[in-house]
Structure 1
Amino acid sequence: MSDLTVVAGPSSPELAGMVAAHLDAALVQAELRVFSDGESKIRLAGPVGERCIIVQSTHPPTDSHLMQAMMIARKCADAGSKVCAVIPYLAYARQDKAFLEGEVVSIALVAKLLEAAGVSSVVTVDMHSQAGLAHFARIKNISSIPLLAQHAAGMGLARPIAVSPDAGGAARVEEFARLLNTDFVALKKTRDRTTGEVTVDPEIGADVSGRDAILVDDMISSGGSIVKAAGVLKKGGAARVYAMCAHALLIGDAASKIQAAGVQEIVATNSIPGKYARVDLSKALAEAAISLF
């Protein structure tokens, strides 16, 4: 038995298999049974080594996937393993501070729960903010931007311009544009903290006429920001509009709304499995995880 084991969580079995292959590690499946009341029961299908890498993204159903990750971690820790949790999409990362009076800083609680479950280190991808990272004792936050830019370079884009849907993503889109050897612009977006309503300033700040515009974001959830941004870019004369992100949550009919807004294609990493997961993170995740032991 190898001293290094990769445990495939129920949310990320394919990604876990690829991580294990990169590391030439033993792969153990975490078998899941869900009872009629919604409770999860986890059984590891084999023994684990002294070093254990759990691969479990916490996309919806968020709470179930998070609980399963903690159950796996506890089982591995109880077996004497040192545990690294690879959680490409880390739920609650957006709840990194109290925006309104009385709100819970949920990512701080998630960090404490993972530690209590036996996790000694965490690997994630494009976590929403530096404030969230500060709650973890040992964490590596991988940027998907180099991989997304590499993919974009092969898309046959016409005079591309990289676009952030909001000012908060300016550094992200600047790096993407640098790697793609093109220019960039950040749109001006506002969101009502109470209603969640998004508005995007129609003043783009750059000439996009006849150019392919690539909207770059860390995650696409409801798709509201991308829809509004795509509308502004189309009105500005953009030829084709693409949406690229690390995490394609695409809740409900978000994908169809985005396409109806004129977006040619949605491209995401495989942090969340699905039809838009076209950019592979497994090598980067494997290298980050092994470095934490």
Structure 2
Amino acid sequence: MTMTLFPMPRNERLAGTIADRAGFSVGKLELRRFPDGESYVRLHSLVAGCAVAVVCTLARADEQFLQLLFTARLLRENGARSIQLVAPYLAYMRQDRRFQDGEALTSRQFAQLISCEFDGLITVDPHLHRYRALQEIYSIETESLAASPLLAEWVRDNVERPLIIGPDSESEQWAGAIATHIGAPHAVFTKLRRGDRDVLIAASDLTVWRERTPILVDDVISSGQTLAHAAREITAQGFPAPICLAVHGLFAPGAEELLKAIGCRIVTTDSIAHPSNAVALGPLLGQALVRQLTVVDAKRLRRTPK
């Protein structure tokens, strides 16, 4: 099965990894900005009749979203038969209900914009809290991949006698899955969030596992406050500073420094390019692209008039 990948800026390495493992080609796309800040987009590859995928992790989506939509529209205008979006980190999932009158339900609005331009979406561990599945808001083919088996493999290969710890109840799904995969014990703390950067952590007693290496697991490192508070609770019980293991390393300003000041080692997947990347998603994403393209092509054929 042939496919051409088009990486958006800062996604070239991830696209190359996917292409190498799946046997895809990487197309040439020229993206730059005029002096006034507007975008210039030019396609340097032939795509007529071809299946293509745009690789664009959507961390800080506001900075690149128009370029992404322009690229998708350009590929369609040049005859691409199908266009998939590989977005390992999927933005605008947290605003999943109206918390106050007059708020925009941005998760649904964002999904509508993506669904207008792409035939399929592949992402990794999206923030599904009040939504049970992406299909509730996206009208295109979607696949949500789980990174926990890959994170578990990293722990198994790099840490002796690990203790897996979730900093809050939402992290239980990753901490529990990793612990089960490698046969390690795990614990989950309780969190009270009072603001974007104001959290309280209630830690359980870990002393029975004193001889183990603590690993804090979460889906996203953003402000770093949750993991930092949990890490301090761990060291207060006589453990060394934990390894902080996450799917997505967003790293708001000061987050990385906050965790390193405690002595934490940080490990993330390459869903967002960062020096902490140690877990490759390329093989997982490549397999998903092939699966989804089969479905997208089948639907296209059913819609084609005979």
TM-score normalised by structure 2 residue count: 0.88
Q: What secondary structure sits across from 1:239 in the alignment? A: coil
Cα shift at 1:240: 4.0
Q: Which residue of 2 aligns with 1:218?
A: 219
Q: Report SS of the residue matched to 2:27.
A: strand
Instruction: Supply the distance in 1 between the matched residues of 2:276 and 2:237 (Cα, whole angstroms).
Output: 26
CA distance in 1, matches of 2:197, 2:137: 25
Query: Separation in 2 of the partners of 1:270 and 1:110?
Result: 23
Q: Which residue of 1 aligns with 2:180?
A: 178
**Aligned: 1:154 with 2:154:** no
Shift of 1:3: 5.3
Gaps of 5+ in 2: 294-306
Which secondary structure state, in structure 2, belongs to the residue aligned with residue 154 of structure 1? helix
Residues 197 and 225 of structure 2 are in contact (CA less than 8 Å); yes or no, is this contact kept in structure 1?
A: no
| Residues 15-164 of structure 1 mapped to structure 2, 5 A cutoff | 15-48=14-47, 49-60=49-60, 62-81=61-80, 82-116=82-116, 118-129=117-128, 131=131, 133=134, 134-137=136-139, 138-157=141-160, 159-164=161-166
Cα offset, 1:31, TM superposition: 1.8
RMSD (CA atoms):
1.8
2:257 aligns to what SS in structure 1? helix
SS of the aligned residue for 1:198 comes to strand
Q: 1:29 & 1:222 partners in 2: Cα distance? A: 35
Q: Unpaired runs of 5+ in structure 1?
A: none
Distance 1:210 1:254 in 2: 28
Kept after mapping to 1: 8 A contact 2:6/2:27: yes
- Aligned counterpart, 2:272: 272
- What is residue 303 of structure 2 aligned with on the other side? none
Aligned residues: 286
Deviation of 1:244 (Å): 0.6
State percent identity of aligned pairs.
29
Which is higher, the Rg of structure 1 or of structure 2? 2
Conservation of the 8 A alpha-carbon contact between 1:12 and 1:55: yes
SS in 1 for 2:181: helix
Q: Which has the higher helix share?
A: 2
Decide whether the 8 Å contact of 2:159 with 2:213 is kept in 1: no
Structure 1 counterpart of 2:200, one-letter code: T
Q: Report the counterpart of residue 253 of structure 1 in structure 2.
A: 254
What code does the residue aligned with 1:146 have?
P
Distance 1:99 1:287 in 2: 38
Greater mean alpha carbon deviation, residues 160-169 or residues 236-245:
236-245
Q: CA deviation at 1:205?
A: 4.3
The corresponding residue for 1:284 is 284
Q: Give the 3-state SS of the residue equivalent to 1:150 in structure 2.
A: helix
**Residue in structure 1 matched with residue 236 of structure 2 by the alignment:** 235
Cα deviation 1:128-179 (Å, max 9, x = unaligned): 115162211321111111111111112133x311111111121221001011
State the secondary structure of the residue aligned to 2:64: helix
User: C-alpha displacement at 1:23, in angstroms?
Assistant: 2.6
SS of 2:218's partner is strand
- Preserved CA contact (<8 Å) 1:10 1:30: no
- For 2:11 and 2:176, the matched residues in 1 are separated by 30
Give secondary structure in 2 for the equivalent of 1:192: strand
Local SS of the residue matching 2:28: strand
When residues 102 and 238 of structure 1 are mapped into structure 2, their CA distance, relative to the original with a 3 A threshold, is: farther
Deviation at 1:206? 3.6
What is the alpha-carbon distance in structure 1 between the residues aligned to residue 259 and residue 197 of structure 2? 18
Asked if the contact 1:30/1:42 (under 8 Å) is kept, the reply is yes
> What is the aligned partner in structure 2 of residue 167 from structure 1?
169
TM-score, normalised to structure 1's length?
A: 0.91
Do the aligned residues in 2 keep the contact of 1:9 with 1:16 (CA within 8 Å)?
no
Alignment-mate amino acid for residue 275 of structure 1: P
